[in-house]
Structure 1
Amino acid sequence: MPAISAWRAALAAFTLAACSAPGLAPAASAWPEKPVTLVVPYPPGGPTDIVARVVAQGLGEALGQTVIVDNRSGAGGNIGADMVAKSAPDGYTLLLATTAHAINMSLFKNLGYDTQKSFVPVSLLTKGPLVIVTRPDLPAHSVSELIALAKQRAGQLTFASSGNGQSTHLSAELFNTMAGTRMVHVPYRGSAPALTDVMGGQADLMFDTMLSSMPYVKAGKLQALAITGAQRSPAAPDLPTVAEAGLKNYEATAWNGLMAPAGTPPAVVQKLSASLQQVLGRPDVQQKFAAQGFAADWMTPDDTRRFVSDEVRKWAEVVRASGATVN
């Protein structure tokens, strides 16, 4: 008996020592032990990239590890999303998801990932309206005048977007559906070239982020008609909403969220969520987003999952009604 007791004591001591060893500690409790990569599926310098860099800096400070922004653009945000979906679910590779990742579920016929099944939502990051901007000489100075002109010139007015499946694309398709207009979509690789062509008259208008377009509005190079949110934006309080300006019940918002590969340990997701709540609650972070026309919008993982599910359903209806599709 003494020998057995001594053996059990030795085994318990060994087990305790093993669990306490740095190399054998549970990954979730030790996370993060190295830099974290935040994949942004769009080019540097755009609205999503700017949000990502603010979040990466704050998250790095909260976690005590560097958060590296990795731009993997292409295919309407699908290249970066597919990369993260296939990454190890260890919390070291994260996705900066956008409205497009809800839209793409019904817009693209062959996706290599499923927005709702391939990822575990962590939190929403920002939410904000788009703004309808036109070339300065377009003879429409309000939403009502734009609708009248688009009906008069059915199939002739063109709207630019930052790419197929982006919020800048489907927000205009929603407008077409609700207003009974037939404006023609012209996709670009990002907001910058799209806005350049609107200013140059090669395209008539665009539904774009306030961050990208409002500096040109203030410079007189673009005309702003309305914003797409349910309420007016503090970044442009004089601009009416589309609903106020003549298209009742219209609302479209652009959002950014943080997601991790499916299978990421719940403890890691919760630590990320708590850290983001801290970051998004900081006044300096909120001010940076507000200057871009966004509002910081932390959500629990469960609330984020429900939000994304609602967005997938909403935009599927828009895609169906518009007939838009991308192979």
Structure 2
Amino acid sequence: MLRRILLRAFLGLSAAALVGVPSTVHAVDSATSFPTRPVRIVVPVAPGGSADKLARTLALRLGEKWHQPVVVENVVGASGTIGAAQVAKARPDGHVLLLGGEGVTLNASLFKTLPYDASQAFRGVSKAVVNPQILVVRPDLGVRGFQDYVALARRKPGEISLGLPGNGGIAHVAHEMLSRQLGIKVNYIPYAGGAPATVDLLGGHIDATLITLAAVTDYVRAGRLVPLAVTTPYRSKALPQVPTLAEAGATGFAVESWQGLLAPAATPTAVVERINRDVAAVLNEASTRSQLEEAGYVVVASSAQELDATLARDLPKNAAVIAASGIALR
């Protein structure tokens, strides 16, 4: 009797052990063979802006490395939450990724309800770059420096039309912080991304925009837009002549944004680490790094764990910023 009981126990343990083996093997195999089909990078803003440019640079290089198509898909709407929701609900195997940024954590406080839980829906893959935001105006506005901009905004409160690359995004938050610090008021015009805001600014339909520097570097160099200041506590190597806002008169002001890849939360760690290694290899290629830095990005190529830590830190921090700024999405 005892012998039969021990035999059953042994067979049960053996079966249980065998049940556990395939999942481990599968996780390793999935990372080794990844990707097994085309990969989608969802960009939750309009084509042509800095996020879109970064995504297309990564897609081209990763496609060459993976021998699979890497497709950039712009899914626009609701301040980026429609695209983010698609990724949050996607099959968690690494084949659908989000080109996201601080908007992921800002939207958690801006929207009363979201179709996903921002604190649980994603895991970091790589913080690819950090970016200065830059305040630029159209040349015929008659503004040649940041103090001219402040003087005009004070003289004509609410008359400067400032295009936003997204309602409630980092540019909105940063300019609202600036407005409160200096006692100025502008008329915010939200767009579905940086590219359409830039097009309207170049066309003279709006007066200014606060935008990721990499989206407008070429226009500044060509003299088609007038740069006033960058939001970071350091000047950009791409446009070293442009002062920081702190240097230009907004004492102590500093805002830095980031862009990178996120995956659905349940994506296996082995797959995330595989993508992270390949993204880092691509970003650290001399030609890619040079191309991105020339455009105004600051290449970071962080670990997945570093991006997870950023998300965890920024959720409560940005909630406090949103509450203090008084920004509300109507």
> For residues 110-154 of structure 1, what are the alpha-carbon distances to aligned partners after superposition, in whole Å with 9 as ceiling and x for unaligned?
211233310011110111112111122334322233223322322
Cα distance in 2 for partners of 1:80, 1:169 equals: 20
Partner in structure 1 of residue 86 of structure 2: 83
Q: How far did residue 256 of structure 1 move?
A: 1.0
Partner in structure 2 of residue 160 of structure 1: 163
Q: How far did residue 178 of structure 1 move?
A: 2.4
> For residues 147-200 of structure 1, what are the alpha-carbon distances to aligned partners after superposition, in whole Å with 9 as ceiling and x for unaligned?
233223223323111221233322212211222222221112333332343344
Partner in structure 2 of residue 322 of structure 1: 325
Q: What SS does the corresponding residue of 2:133 show, helix, strand or coil?
A: strand
Cα distance in 2 for partners of 1:276, 1:192 equals: 25
Is 1:266 equivalent to 2:269 in the alignment?
yes
Is this contact kept in 1: 2:217–2:296, CA < 8 A? Answer: no
Partner in structure 1 of residue 151 of structure 2: 148
Partner in structure 1 of residue 3 of structure 2: none
Is this contact kept in 2: 1:109–1:325, CA < 8 A? Answer: no
Is this contact kept in 1: 2:97–2:262, CA < 8 A? Answer: yes
Instruction: Give the 3 Å change call, closer, same or farther, for CA 151–218 of structure 1 in structure 2.
Output: same
Instruction: Give the 3 Å change call, closer, same or farther, for CA 234–23 of structure 1 in structure 2.
Output: closer
Q: How far did residue 25 of structure 1 move?
A: 8.2
Q: How far did residue 277 of structure 1 move?
A: 1.9
Q: How far did residue 287 of structure 1 move?
A: 1.1
2:212 to 209, 212, 220: 209
Q: How far did residue 299 of structure 1 move?
A: 1.2
Partner in structure 2 of residue 118 of structure 1: 121
1:174 to 173, 177, 189: 177
2:224 to 221, 225, 229: 221
Q: What SS does the corresponding residue of 1:233 show, helix, strand or coil?
A: coil
Cα distance in 2 for partners of 1:161, 1:63 equals: 36
Cα distance in 1 for partners of 2:75, 2:324 equals: 31
Moved over 6 A (4+): 22-25
Partner in structure 1 of residue 4 of structure 2: none
Cα distance in 1 for partners of 2:115, 2:257 equals: 23
Q: How far did residue 201 of structure 1 move?
A: 4.2
Partner in structure 2 of residue 44 of structure 1: 47
Paired residue type of 1:235: A
Cα distance in 2 for partners of 1:311, 1:292 equals: 26
Report the RMSD for the aligned CA atoms in angstroms.
2.7
Q: What SS does the corresponding residue of 1:263 show, helix, strand or coil?
A: coil
Is 1:69 equivalent to 2:72 in the alignment?
yes
Is 1:129 equivalent to 2:132 in the alignment?
yes
Is 1:277 equivalent to 2:247 in the alignment?
no
Instruction: Give the 3 Å change call, closer, same or farther, for CA 196–301 of structure 1 in structure 2.
Output: closer
Normalised to the residue count of structure 2, the TM-score between the two structures is 0.85
Percent identity of equivalent pairs: 36
Q: What SS does the corresponding residue of 2:139 show, helix, strand or coil?
A: coil
Cα distance in 1 for partners of 2:59, 2:46 equals: 16
Cα distance in 2 for partners of 1:104, 1:25 equals: 34
Partner in structure 2 of residue 251 of structure 1: 254
Normalised to the residue count of structure 1, the TM-score between the two structures is 0.86
> For residues 208-252 of structure 1, what are the alpha-carbon distances to aligned partners after superposition, in whole Å with 9 as ceiling and x for unaligned?
222332333333332111111221111111111111111122122
Partner in structure 2 of residue 108 of structure 1: 111
Is 1:286 equivalent to 2:289 in the alignment?
yes
Is this contact kept in 1: 2:42–2:83, CA < 8 A? Answer: yes
Cα distance in 1 for partners of 2:192, 2:34 equals: 36
Cα distance in 2 for partners of 1:204, 1:44 equals: 22
Q: What SS does the corresponding residue of 1:244 show, helix, strand or coil?
A: helix
Is this contact kept in 2: 1:173–1:318, CA < 8 A? Answer: no
Cα distance in 2 for partners of 1:69, 1:161 equals: 23
Instruction: Give the 3 Å change call, closer, same or farther, for CA 111–259 of structure 1 in structure 2.
Output: same
Paired residue type of 1:183: V
Partner in structure 2 of residue 312 of structure 1: 315
Partner in structure 1 of residue 186 of structure 2: 183
Cα distance in 2 for partners of 1:55, 1:217 equals: 24
Q: What SS does the corresponding residue of 2:162 show, helix, strand or coil?
A: strand
> For residues 62-109 of structure 1, what are the alpha-carbon distances to aligned partners after superposition, in whole Å with 9 as ceiling and x for unaligned?
444332222222222111110010111122211111232222111122
Instruction: Give the 3 Å change call, closer, same or farther, for CA 23–98 of structure 1 in structure 2.
Output: closer
Task: Give the unaligned 5+ runs of structure 1.
Answer: none
Q: How far did residue 258 of structure 1 move?
A: 0.7
Partner in structure 2 of residue 239 of structure 1: 242
Task: Give the unaligned 5+ runs of structure 2.
Answer: 1-6
Cα distance in 2 for partners of 1:243, 1:102 equals: 25
